[in-house]
Structure 1
Amino acid sequence: MGQKLVIVESPAKAKTIKKYLGSNFIVEASMGHIRDLPKSQLGVDVENGYNPKYITIRGKGDLLDKLKKAAKKSERVYLATDPDREGEAISWHLAKALDIQSDTPCRIEFNEITKNAVKNAIKNPRKINEGLVDAQQARRILDRLVGYEISPILWKKVKWGLSAGRVQSVALKLICDREEEILNFVPKEFWTIESELKKKKDKQNFKVKLSGYMGKKIEIDNGEQCNRIISELEQNEFKVKLVKKGSKLKNPLPPFTTSTLQQDANRKLNFSTKKTMSLAQQLYEGVEIKGKGSVGLITYMRTDSVRISEEAQKNAADFILSSYGSEYLPKTPRIYKGKKSAQDAHEAIRPTYTELTPAELKESLAPDMLKLYTLIWNRFIASQMASCILDTTSVEIVNGDYLFKTSGSKVKFDGFMKVYEYTNEEEENSINIPELEEGEVLEKKKIDGIQHFTQPPSRFNEASLVKMLEENGIGRPSTYAPIITTILERKYVERDKKNLVPTELGKIVNTIMCEYFKGIVDVDFTAELENRLDNIEDGKEKWQKIVDDFYIPLKESIEIAEKEINKITIEDKVSDIACDKCGRMMVIKQGRFGEFLACPGYPECKNTKAIVEELNVSCPKCGGKVVVKRSKKGKKFFGCENYPNCDFVSWFEPTDKKCEKCGNLVVIKYSKAKGNYFVCSNPECKHEVEK
């Protein structure tokens, strides 16, 4: 048999797949896209059907030559890029570059990187799906037209280097609109009344809340009204009117989609969407596991489906039965229904091997990777477990014509909660209620009137923004993380703790976009465009028609904006450092590699300085301070403040520790398996030191 070539995107994926294939298979990585639109020009022929001009990505020439040589030596080429639009487009570009005919069944895909999935994919190659490719191409061209046509306006009118993005602009608008709501919010006063009661001869107090008066819901607008009600309550006794006991089933949540994984990882692990997707990508492509080699640990992480395979469901059931017992298995396997808009091309995100528990992988995974895997594993196993059973109690207590209510619940059977817990608002407010009897008179400990003010809506954090984007049909699972990353990197939005807050620059850009490019920032319009991209994928619409419908009004808006927008000046933030050449206070500017200091007297004074970040570590050579520096390519390194008089330099962050074996400096390194770890900087020693 002749040689066969399999091309994937990444070396990690190549390594995992290689071990499942025979010796006559070569597995190579394309390192993502090999062709794209040029950066130096629009690259779209708007006069001739929006034909894209693709070029080999800079720096990929040698890699492409290598792939061409390998393809020529092979009797069969399989394109095994990711199972989505982007992956299909990468395969299409590879097929073009390697002269693979369009009717050749060369495309293979798998939702999980396991032996069975890979072998089955090799047995069932298909042609490249032109619908998927056209949908990706339409998105790419639309984004290019927005970015390259609107950005120059922002350069001329606001600040050089700014850029506009099609979907990112909608996300920025949501954040700016929320900020506007918060600023314009007028708090409204209201009061609530709570009473602390107890059974006679009982030590335990419990709280009840006033909810009604004479059979109607009560609203208390001010302190005077509140005090009047309290004085009436003080004169009467509290009597139990109704005690209702029951039980309630609490069902598990479905396994993760991209959106729910990003939200949960942000809430529970404090991971950014970018970090979550980076870790999930590694878990999908393969991680070195002791005694097993490179193993793909989860299914494909870009999905909006909650469906799982019958095989995975059976494996989960077997695991639950053997680990927890039959009472933890539901009577019938759980089937979850996704939203109508869900693509459902892939399964939900789940572990590929149920038996590889987080405990089993503790020694093999870096701490953060283990945390994310644990979250995915727990949620999947819980999704296939029996419901939690809650004993519930709701109580009504009367005082004259006033009605008080309270409720509580206790776990009777934990079910899926043994593995994965979540609480709703009702459960969070649940209290312990003693055994009460109807007609029983209760002892009053105190009655409190509590003043409240209505609260403005909360600022978005990454979790709530992803939820909003998904609910409004903006973007797709693959785009949530890049959307948030982009608006943060462009300095349109900044983090305040976990909240996303628009900057002054972000507000200015949003105002321009809202005034002159209403269609682009309109939520409904963007969602409809996403639906039309789906139509391209399904063969219901031609991509050129959709681009044309978008571009014609965009061109008109650009012409109006160029004429009408006046120059906007953004004041630079003034530092507390004086220019050592002319004495003016230096200002903070944004450069290619971050912030730097510049003299405001430019062009008369062209003095600039780096903003020095100091470590609390002394230079091992001269005792000076160690500072963070950047190479010409922007890579971070560490050096002595006394350079060039002292030549100490390190690519790894130095610490104030000394190696106990050889006395050299200890630095911080990182690996996927260990995370951050402390090691001797002497290459001949390499002794690891405890944190």
Structure 2
Amino acid sequence: MKVQTEKAGVSFAAISKEKFEQRDAADVILGLLQEQKTLCVQSVEKKEVNQEPPLLYDLTTLQKEANSKHGFSADKTLSIAQKLYEAKLTTYPRTGSRYIPSDVLAEIYILISGLWDNTVFGKQALALSNSNLNLRSVDDKKITDHHAIIITENSASGLSGDDKTIYEMIAGRMLEAFSKKCVKDATTIRLACGDTIFETKGSVIKQAGWRAVFDDREENEDEVEKLPTVIEGETLSVLQSEVLEKQTKPKSIHTESSLLGTMEDSGIGTPATRAAIIETLFARDYVRREKKSLLPTDKGLSVYEIVKDKRIADVALTGSWENTLSQIEAGEMDADTFRQANEIYTRQITAELLNVSIAISGENECACPKCKTGKMIFYPKVAKCSETNCGLIVFRNKSEKQLSDKQITDLLTTGKTPVIKGFKSKGGKSFDASLAFDADYKIVFDFPEKKEKK
């Protein structure tokens, strides 16, 4: 339930604390609001909120933010970060730490002073002094092989395009990390109509601190910048009221940014290898990009169905390997013990996969029309060439239509199927068409010619 009210010419909205499962219950409150046309200020809570600056970048965090803010792939961000490192403009990129050791802290102010003349960061760099740098990103105990990514003392004035974008992300984050905290006055007002409580929140920045580097404003759809001054017991008029109908949302589709975060939380890969893992999914046609979203292909779903319950797909085990390797490196575990365990595991998953029963439809056997040497093998969800270097695959599901063995055979032997009825467009409309191979052996629709009316 949403209600609009005002005080001293300042209009603001408040949302009911209670969520109504039934529309009838919400309509009762709506009727009461429209009848009384007033709200009573139940409480006003004010407090100072301190927001510490973000930590410095490790590679995964840099990749995640470059994807969400600029649409860069993880592989592209790594490539640029490596290029900047080789040009001696930034430090080693393949790091999993977001901290620097205390001995590097002595160099930070020198690096910051190198940005005094920077057109983007000059003002904020000048505002920092060596005596009051924020030390949140300084911790000797949280350094792995390499410390967090920071800039070097070398000038980056010649950079342009995407290289400049990543450099400025790193330079800006360094300024943010060593800036003062952001201080806000936060206000929460609770309003009452009968037994129903409505709440609104607002905040005013007293000290921008690290948020001034990129003039960063926190996005919060349920919070306004400034609320009027009200006192407990005061009565406010209702300008407007309405019932908000919302549905439970399914989990969001992964972007590269969210996938990198999930991989990190699950212990899959390292900062240096996660981008390559994602690129392998693209290269094998398991996943495709659709704008910023990552969607599984039919091939990827087929592989998933085969391995989802197998040991080879055990995410927890994969993540534990990374921890075990770190223990071996630190001398806390014997490498030979790990090797022997892996030999046993390899034999187990190999036997398990060899025993997977993949039914082959019928006794169909067609020559591959693409490589001319392989045989097309029919599986429940695909027909594929036996030659691994060929790569010809025909998926049975096409626009919500399951292709029969005969239809696939016609396509493979003649290059075209008869007209198939019942395909569905993205808009849900039904249409009829033949399927054919183009010059690159991609499957395309071939629409029948419409007969002219006499």
- Partners of 2:211 and 2:217 within 8 A in 1: no
**How far did 1:223 drift?**
1.1
- Number of corresponding residues: 378
**What is aligned with 1:198?**
6
Aligned pairs for 1:576-615 (under 5 A) are 602=412, 610-611=439-440
Residues 2-29 of structure 1 deviation map (CA, whole Å, 9 limit, x = unaligned): xxxxxxxxxxxxxxxxxxxxxxxxxxxx
Distance in structure 1 (CA, Å) of the matches to 2:115 and 2:47? 28
Q: Structure 1 unaligned runs (5+)? A: 1-192, 212-217, 287-295, 570-586, 614-691
| Counterpart amino acid of residue 274 in structure 1 | D
Amino acid of the structure 1 residue aligned with 2:3: S
* Gap runs ≥5 in structure 2: 117-121, 362-381, 395-407, 417-435, 443-454
Offset of 1:534 from its aligned partner?
1.2
Residues 471, 605 of structure 1: CA spacing in aligned structure 2 closer, same or farther, 3 A cutoff?
A: closer
Q: Could you tell me which amino acid in structure 1 is paired with residue 245 of structure 2?
A: Q
Match of 1:315 in 2: 110
Conserved? CA contact 1:379–1:420, under 8 Å: no
Deviation at residue 399 of structure 1 after TM alignment: 1.8
Aligned-residue offset at 1:474: 1.4
Residues 307 and 344, structure 1, Cα contact 8 Å, conserved in 2: no
Cα deviation for residue 313 of structure 1 reads 2.3
Are residues 403 and 602 of structure 1, via their aligned partners in 2, closer, same or farther at CA, if it must alter by over 3 Å?
closer
Q: Distance in 2 between matches of 1:431 and 1:593?
A: 60
Deviation at 1:259, TM superposition (A): 0.9
CA contact (8 A) 1:243 1:437 kept: yes
Does 2:328 match 1:499?
Answer: no
**Partner SS, residue 546 of structure 1:** helix
C-alpha distance in 1, partners of 2:240/2:150?
51
The code of the aligned residue for 1:546 comes to F
Instruction: Report the equivalent of 1:349.
Output: 149
In structure 2, the partner of 1:132 is none
Evaluate the alpha carbon distance shift between residue 600 and residue 352 of structure 1 in structure 2; reply closer, same or farther with a 3 A threshold: farther
The answer to whether the Cα contact below 8 Å between 1:305 and 1:347 also exists between their aligned partners in 2 is yes
Structure 1 residue corresponding to 2:16, chosen from 188, 192, 210 = 210
Counterparts of 1:44-443 in structure 2 under 5 Å? 193-199=1-7, 202-211=8-17, 218-236=18-36, 237-286=38-87, 296-308=88-100, 309-316=104-111, 318=113, 323-324=123-124, 328-329=128-129, 331=132, 333-336=134-137, 344-353=144-153, 356=155, 361=157, 364-420=158-214, 426=220, 429-443=223-237
Task: From 334, 337, 348, give the equivalent of 1:556.
Answer: 348
1:574 aligned residue = none
Task: Summarize deviations over 1:534-553 as a string: whole Å, max 9, x none.
Answer: 12222333434323212323
CA distance in 2 between partners of 1:423 and 1:228 (Å): 38
Call closer, same or farther: CA 1:311–1:428 in 2, change over 3 Å.
farther
Separation (CA, whole Å) in 1 of partners of 2:294 and 2:125: 45
Specify which structure has the bigger relative contact order, considering alpha-carbon pairs within 8 angstroms and separated by 6 or more residues.
2
Aligned to 1:641: none
Note the alpha carbon deviations across 1:79-103, whole angstroms, 9 max, x for none: xxxxxxxxxxxxxxxxxxxxxxxxx
TM-score, structure 2 normalization: 0.74
**How far is the alpha carbon of 1:255 from its aligned partner?**
0.9
Q: Does 1:543 align with 2:335?
A: yes
The Cα of 1:472 is off from its aligned counterpart by: 1.6
The answer on 1:476 being equivalent to 2:270 is: yes
Aligned structure 1 segments of 4 or more residues deviating by more than 4 angstroms: 316-330, 337-340, 421-428, 587-609
What is the CA deviation profile of residues 389-411 of structure 1, one whole-angstrom value per residue up to 9, with x for unaligned ones?
A: 22222212222222211111122
Contact 2:97–2:147 (CA under 8 A) maintained in structure 1:
yes
Q: In structure 2, give the amino acid aligned to 1:610.
A: A
Q: Which residue identity is paired with 1:367?
A: G
Identity %: 28
Give, in whole Å, the separation in 1 of the partners of 2:216 and 2:343.
Answer: 46
Cα distance, 1:478 vs structure 2:
0.6
Local SS of the residue matching 2:29: helix
SS of structure 2 residue aligned to 1:300: coil
- Partners in 2 of 1:423 and 1:588 — Cα distance? 53
CA distance in 1, matches of 2:140, 2:261: 14
Q: Match of 1:462?
A: 256
